[in-house]
Structure 1
Amino acid sequence: MVRRLRAAVVPVVLIVLIALSGVALGRIYADDLLMELVAGAALGSVGVGLAARRLPSWTVAPISVVLLAGYTAVALQVAAGRAGLTDPLPQIVTDAVANGIPRLLTAMIPVESTPDTVVVPVVAAWLAGLAGTEIAVRGGRVLLGCLPAAALYGGALYVVGPNAGSAGWATLAFAAAVIAGLAASVRSPGGPALADVPPETRTAVRGRALAGSAAGLVVLTGLVAAVGPWVGGRVSATPVDPRRYVEPPQVDSLDESPLNRISGWALAPEQRLFEVGPSRGRGTVRLRLAVLPDYDGITWRVGATYRNAGRVLPAPARLPGVPVTRVTQQITINELTGRLLPVVPTPAGVDGTRVAYDAATGTVIRPEELRPGLRYTVTSDTQEPDYNLLPEADTPTGDPVARFLTVGANVPDEIQRLADQLADGNGAAYDRAAAIEEFLAEHYRKVADAPSGHAYPNLSFFLFGPRDQGGQRGTSEQFAASFALLARLTGLPARVVVGFDAPGAGGTVTGGDALAWPEVLFDDLGWVAFDPLPKSDEKPRPVEEDFTPKPSKPPPTSDPPSATDTPSASVPPAVAAAPAPGRGGPSTAVVASGAGGSVLLLLAAAAATVVLMRRGLRRRRLTAGAPAARITGAWFEFTDALRLAGRPVPDHLAATEAAAFAATAPPPGRAIRRPGLGLRRATPHAPDPATADPAAAAHQADSHTAGRDPAGSQPAAPAPTGDDAAARPEDQRPRGAATAKGAALPPLDELVRAVNTVAFAPAAATGEQADRAGAQAAAYADALRGTRPWWRRAWWSVHPGPLRWHREPGGKR
């Protein structure tokens, strides 16, 4: 009887050890289903091993595996029913087996007991029970048979990592169960068999046992001395989180920056995106699609780390003392694409589809693409703080909000000056935010056909661009992005949110309901939304009435000579003495002629090489690459032509202004000398008063007389640039500059339109547009070269400058 009880202890110990592994892993699960399923797997696998212990050993594994398949199917069916999944069982099993490991390691804590998050622990528990029973029961090696269960327990602790507290009592229970199993397996040293042994033999056996015990004690003491300090040092260390080695679900560029989709939705206001159920009796409820906290000067991005989540999402940080209102809304997808799910902020649970969640931003995605007919229910906890406290509220600082204060490098000077002006005199955080909101609402117009884009150049054009050329107009994309950028420049932690205004009584949400808005973080109030959109249809006040960005100073047309290059009037120039004729070797004439011939050959070869390289460069610029790259190459051809003509385009000019600058380029005439005026260029024909451009007057003088009036005594007025040039559309004539023979240089309108397309909507550039831009740039460069004297045309063809101008550090290639 006692022997049978001892024999039953070992299987019970194995069941307990495996069940404790389920307890250790279940600490990160949202319910107790995992622990129940792991305990069932332990009981089933050990029971099968006991029942088949009298069968041949090779038959146990196949029988156990077949029963494992049946138990796994039952366990997944139970988990699917608990999770509310209605897919067919074969589909559930296939998906769980294929994605069990990555979904377990990327799941949001607490993990919901779904088929894909329980399949791996259940299978591992069954296999540990099978191996342990065969080794401990059939083989009689109890300590070795406990190793599979110990490995399973260690794996559970590793998966939990730092996401739960220490498993103190479970670990002590695990050690106690191992000791009980070892104690029950020890056989009595006495008995008739040992009594019949001669005394000498008994003494030898006891001696060997004592020696073995002593050796084991020495080894154990050495292991404790060697490993003990390391184990003690790891007690207070933070466990490694295996989730950092597994890549969470990723999204494409449109889901990473859905702000770019605002302009497309604005152009299709009738597009039926999704249906919403009733949540309020009247009015609108704002749904959030994505939160964008990261900005690098080019794109506002979500920057999320999505974790697979169950129906219950982690509770967000709540505002103290503010009541929580629970809102439940059913959403049915129609034509909304991507993987982002619109939800009421802040979601507490999603039912009806699998989701992945970013706890930092509250953004929810579906691991698979959205499809028409998808229906899910969102339960959200909303809080409405007392906004009357805003005027006295402050904003948090330090590392926790550094992400919401970061902007890209090289902020445009005019945007920084505008931020400084709006912050001047507004010391309180809310006053600065309100000043930015009021400035944008009063000075800019919301339109549906504004091009997409929120990089620095796009926002500069939106904030300061000429109205007659499309500036100071935009969608909610530009309003929200400009507000958030200006807020960060004034020290306010801000972010951009993309979402929809949905009817509170339920109904259809269309593309016209999509919008973006900025939010600012305040102490004790959380994220507060602002509305910088115009409040009426009245004509907005021009920006120039309240803020005029200072144009950058144009670069000088030529560098002043250095002191060492200017001859002194008091020191006569040195005269080189003629060398004395040599008496030996070849004559001077022979050496000179040979050297001259070699130099001429080298110069001719270099010139031919430059000509070929220049032709190859033009061909690559205008024919190779994507349309945006070819348009950029056409712009380089245009600017290189002006630079070769001696009139480089100032860096501060926009494309339209640069074209106007090029249209006024005067062709060089015959060089003459006038007493007292120095070297000047004669104009073959008097300019037509109807088309004369005042800006050309600033460029008539040669580099020796630049900056002086015809009398040579007073500084000449600078040519209008920047806002001044933009304010005079009659001076911007990219289609008709006079040449030396009275003809007109080729137009540049197609090139200008293509460059603006690349700047504000690069994806919209087409191959035909690139072809037209390249043809105009090449025609303009060739026509401008034809107006030069013959020697300038020759130098134009062999000038190596275009080969390196756009390869310099900081160049635009």
Structure 2
Amino acid sequence: MVRFLKTLAVPVALVVMIGLAGAVLGRVYAGPLLGQLVLGAAVGAVGVSLATRRAPSWLVAPLSVLALLGYTGFTLWFTARRADLPGGLPDVAADAVRNGIPRLLTALIPIEPTPDTVIVPVVAAWLAGLAAAEVGIRAARVLLGLAAPVGLYAGALYVVGPNAESTPWLTVAFAGAAALALATGGRPDRRDPANAADAGAGLTPAVRAALRLRTAASTAVGLVVVVGLAAVVAPVVARQVGATPVDPRRYVEPPQVESLDENPLIRISGWALHPEQTLLEVRTTGAPPPDEPPPTEPAAGDGEEEPPEDGEPADEESPADAAEQSRAVRIRLAVLSDYDGVTWRVGGTYRNAGRVLPATEQVPEPATVDRIEQEITIRELSGRLLPAVPTPREVTGSRVAYEQASGTLIRPEGLTEGLRYTVSSEREHPDYNLLPAANVPFGDAVARFLRVEPGAPEQVQRLADQLAEENGAPYDRAIAIETYLAEHYRVVADAPSGHAYPNLAFFLFGPPNGGGQRGTSEQFAAAYAVLGRMMGLPTRVVVGFNSPTGTGPVHGADALAWPEVLFEGLGWVAFNPLPLPNTRPRPVEDEFKPEPEDPTPPPEETTPPPEATPEASAEAVAPPGGGSGPGVPVLVGGGTGGLLLVLTGLALVVVGMRRAQRRRRLADGPPAQRIAGAWRELTDALRLAGRPVPEHLAATEVAAHARSSLREPGQPLPPGPEAGSEPSGGVGAGPSTGGLRPAVPGVDDLAELVNLAAFAPAVATDEQARRAAELALAYAAELRAKRSWWRRMVWSLHPGPLRWRD
């Protein structure tokens, strides 16, 4: 019995040591499955070696490898089925063999046991067991045989690194198992153990004394070596006890997003220009949205809403529209946290993840949480970013990488049309009644969300300061930005992409008739986030989609960007700076407009002339009778002629300069510049007619203003395109006859050309520039013809267009 126990002691010790290595590595895995699989590999490897002890040594390794292939195949099949991964076993096995090591070192902790994260530990454990059993049991070299389990244990400690708490008891147990193997192992006795008492019966006393001396000497030498090694190694080991282990994950690059996915905000304008493009299809199940959505929930995606005409009330939202909006589901694509003054970036680190995802790093206090499940099918959406309702907790049907700080997903292999996956998310609904009294965090943890890069336009900073003057609480400041943007700016689908500092300054303060003060949700969200950071609010920009019903196709028109603000105890709260549908934006107040870059200096002070006395006046009017000089008739005639000559010369100069200005505007430069010059001719004509154009009007609104300026007092408005009249573009040749009014020049066509030149200057052609010049001159001629004769004369000689802004 004792002999049988000694025979089993070494194999059991080897299995325990390899199992403990699996327990050490399992601390960074989710659940105990990895430890169980490693222990099974240890039992299998050592068991095969024990079962084939009497077989030739050359046969053991092939048999053990065959058993390893079978056990590994079972492990891959079981973990793939458990993780619900798509594909057959050959595909899963090939992917696991190809990507096992990098995915193990880049996986999100806790690592889920999947084929690619368990294949390396299982194979390593089996090979360690095979080597230890063959060397320690068959060759009876126990100390040398322990090298493989020790190496496996050290490798497990290195892979875990600083990502798990220290567990000294595992190391103590490992050392105990090694000591048991050394104590019970060794070469088999050549003599029968039953006669062990007589082992030294045939030896002479001299031989026995020599053996005792040899044993004592070797023991002493071994003791000295052990004590010396302890003295040398102990300080080094002691210094490492409190040190942070090296993390091997720092040497392996995690999955990266493409440049297109690093800033998906620039894709908003492209999606808006193709509103019918089907990006993905969604089928939502689970808890419905709350009856009262948060007040900051965006109402719609990008798309230009025509404002009502003056005096026409805005359409009120119908109960059906409100009900449909309450069923809308927000699908998040990416979270952009870093801004360098040029572009917003994701700036996150994605780690390979399994089916179950951990919670985000910033979790609000206990709040209402509903579970929502979506089956998403990718259609024309490209890149690697994987859309999902925030916050995803479980993903099946696709391998994903996860960014824990923001709760966003990517598919490392990239999106392909037809990809179908299911994502289960938990939507948190904090108590929004706490917002008015909530504070915002500060410090290093949120520094990236407060960073404002140098180079911000002065007028943007001034706008932020003025909005913050009367709003002290963080929530009041957040609402102030939201209200200001929603009331003063317009959403259009064809606005060019861009959210650098100059783009935002043009969006906030640019002239409406030149493309300013309008944009897609890209500009609204980016401007909100920058203004918020200038006011001390931690902000970020989110890109995603607004699914109208939560089920069905999601088109390009549903793409949306919105800002979020971080509040203590409530987490990230979304705000909606987009204007309500069917509302006309208010003009930007003068105090929010930028000051001119080169302001006109005030006139210099001059010394007033001395007051003329009556005597001096009399002398000046009536020279002394005896004085010489020309008489009064000569002075009057010569002075009048000279004055007329000077005035005539000035008039000719003004006329010549006006014509040169018109020629420069309409004939010089690229087509887009000439179209803009034609527009200046039209606005100058309106100003000369006493009908100046307000600065806040858009081009189409200026066209309506120009049509109304042709109306005589008491005369109805000339027909325009909106009234269903004939196409504009002709110029009346004289008074109307037969009850007909002259046609209105094509100011609407000119407005369209101006918008084209502003948003797509490279597209404008020479023919369009010539057409714009004809329309502007035709309108100015008709507007001038309606003036009286003396006003027409003043019109031609007025120097105003020469000094007005060109």
TM-score (norm 2): 0.69
The reply on whether 1:210 has 2:254 as its aligned counterpart is no
Spell out the pairing of 1:126-275 with structure 2 (5 A cutoff).
126-185=126-185, 191-275=197-281
Report how far residue 260 of structure 1 moved: 0.7
Report how far residue 551 of structure 1 moved: 2.9
Deviations 1:129-152 (A, max 9, x none): 111011101111112111101111
Cα separation, 2, equivalents of 1:230 and 1:408: 46
Structure 1 equivalent of residue 51 of structure 2: 51
**Match of 1:551, SS?**
coil
Spell out the pairing of 1:300-311 with structure 2 (5 A cutoff).
300-311=344-355
Residue type of the partner of 2:130? L
Cα separation, 1, equivalents of 2:65 and 2:155: 22
Report how far residue 121 of structure 1 moved: 0.6
Cα separation, 1, equivalents of 2:408 and 2:419: 18
Structure 1 equivalent of residue 17 of structure 2: 17
**Match of 2:658, SS?**
coil
Cα separation, 2, equivalents of 1:536 and 1:372: 34
Report how far residue 16 of structure 1 moved: 1.3
Of stretches 47-56 and 112-121 in structure 1, the one that deviates more from structure 2 is 47-56
Spell out the pairing of 1:362-381 with structure 2 (5 A cutoff).
362-381=407-426
Report how far residue 374 of structure 1 moved: 1.7
Of stretches 138-147 and 50-59 in structure 1, the one that deviates more from structure 2 is 50-59
Cα separation, 2, equivalents of 1:165 and 1:97: 29
Structure 1 equivalent of residue 363 of structure 2: 318
Of stretches 236-245 and 121-130 in structure 1, the one that deviates more from structure 2 is 236-245
Query: Conserved in 1, the CA contact under 8 Å of 2:511 and 2:695?
Result: no
Spell out the pairing of 1:368-447 with structure 2 (5 A cutoff).
368-447=413-492
Structure 1 equivalent of residue 26 of structure 2: 26
Cα separation, 2, equivalents of 1:123 and 1:186: 28
Runs of 5+ consecutive residues of structure 1 not aligned to the other structure: 557-681, 697-722, 731-751, 770-813
Residue type of the partner of 1:390? L
Cα separation, 2, equivalents of 1:521 and 1:271: 33
Residue type of the partner of 1:389? L
- CA 1:754–1:450 in 2, change beyond 3 Å: closer, same or farther? closer
Structure 1 equivalent of residue 574 of structure 2: 529
Structure 2 equivalent of residue 690 of structure 1: 658
Cα separation, 1, equivalents of 2:248 and 2:587: 56
Report how far residue 192 of structure 1 moved: 3.1
Please, which of 510, 534, 552 is the counterpart of residue 597 of structure 2? Answer: 552
Cα separation, 2, equivalents of 1:485 and 1:394: 19
Report how far residue 509 of structure 1 moved: 1.2
Residue type of the partner of 2:282? V
Cα separation, 1, equivalents of 2:494 and 2:244: 54
TM-score (norm 1): 0.68
Spell out the pairing of 1:554-573 with structure 2 (5 A cutoff).
none
Cα separation, 2, equivalents of 1:295 and 1:194: 85
Percent of matched pairs sharing the same residue: 60
Of stretches 480-489 and 535-544 in structure 1, the one that deviates more from structure 2 is 535-544
- CA 1:251–1:234 in 2, change beyond 3 Å: closer, same or farther? same
Please, which of 292, 296, 299 is the counterpart of residue 340 of structure 2? Answer: 296
Report how far residue 23 of structure 1 moved: 1.3
Cα separation, 1, equivalents of 2:399 and 2:218: 59
Task: Give RMSD over aligned pairs.
Answer: 3.1
**Match of 1:531, SS?**
coil
Please, which of 319, 322, 341 is the counterpart of residue 386 of structure 2? Answer: 341
Structure 1 equivalent of residue 399 of structure 2: 354
Residue type of the partner of 2:338? D
**Match of 2:330, SS?**
strand
Runs of 5+ consecutive residues of structure 2 not aligned to the other structure: 290-325, 602-649, 665-692, 703-753, 766-806
Query: Conserved in 1, the CA contact under 8 Å of 2:588 and 2:696?
Result: no
Cα separation, 2, equivalents of 1:41 and 1:167: 23
Residue type of the partner of 1:311? R
Cα separation, 2, equivalents of 1:754 and 1:60: 80
Query: Conserved in 2, the CA contact under 8 Å of 1:754 and 1:765?
Result: no
- CA 1:461–1:519 in 2, change beyond 3 Å: closer, same or farther? same
Deviations 1:644-680 (A, max 9, x none): xxxxxxxxxxxxxxxxxxxxxxxxxxxxxxxxxxxxx
Cα separation, 2, equivalents of 1:436 and 1:311: 40
Query: Conserved in 2, the CA contact under 8 Å of 1:298 and 1:408?
Result: no
Cα separation, 2, equivalents of 1:511 and 1:89: 38
- CA 1:753–1:211 in 2, change beyond 3 Å: closer, same or farther? farther
Cα separation, 1, equivalents of 2:697 and 2:583: 22
Structure 2 equivalent of residue 649 of structure 1: none
Report how far residue 728 of structure 1 moved: 14
Report how far residue 251 of structure 1 moved: 1.1
**Match of 2:435, SS?**
helix
**Match of 1:690, SS?**
helix
Report how far residue 395 of structure 1 moved: 0.6
- CA 1:129–1:756 in 2, change beyond 3 Å: closer, same or farther? farther
**Match of 2:413, SS?**
coil
Report how far residue 125 of structure 1 moved: 0.6
Which structure has the bigger radius of gyration?
Answer: 2
Cα separation, 2, equivalents of 1:337 and 1:448: 21
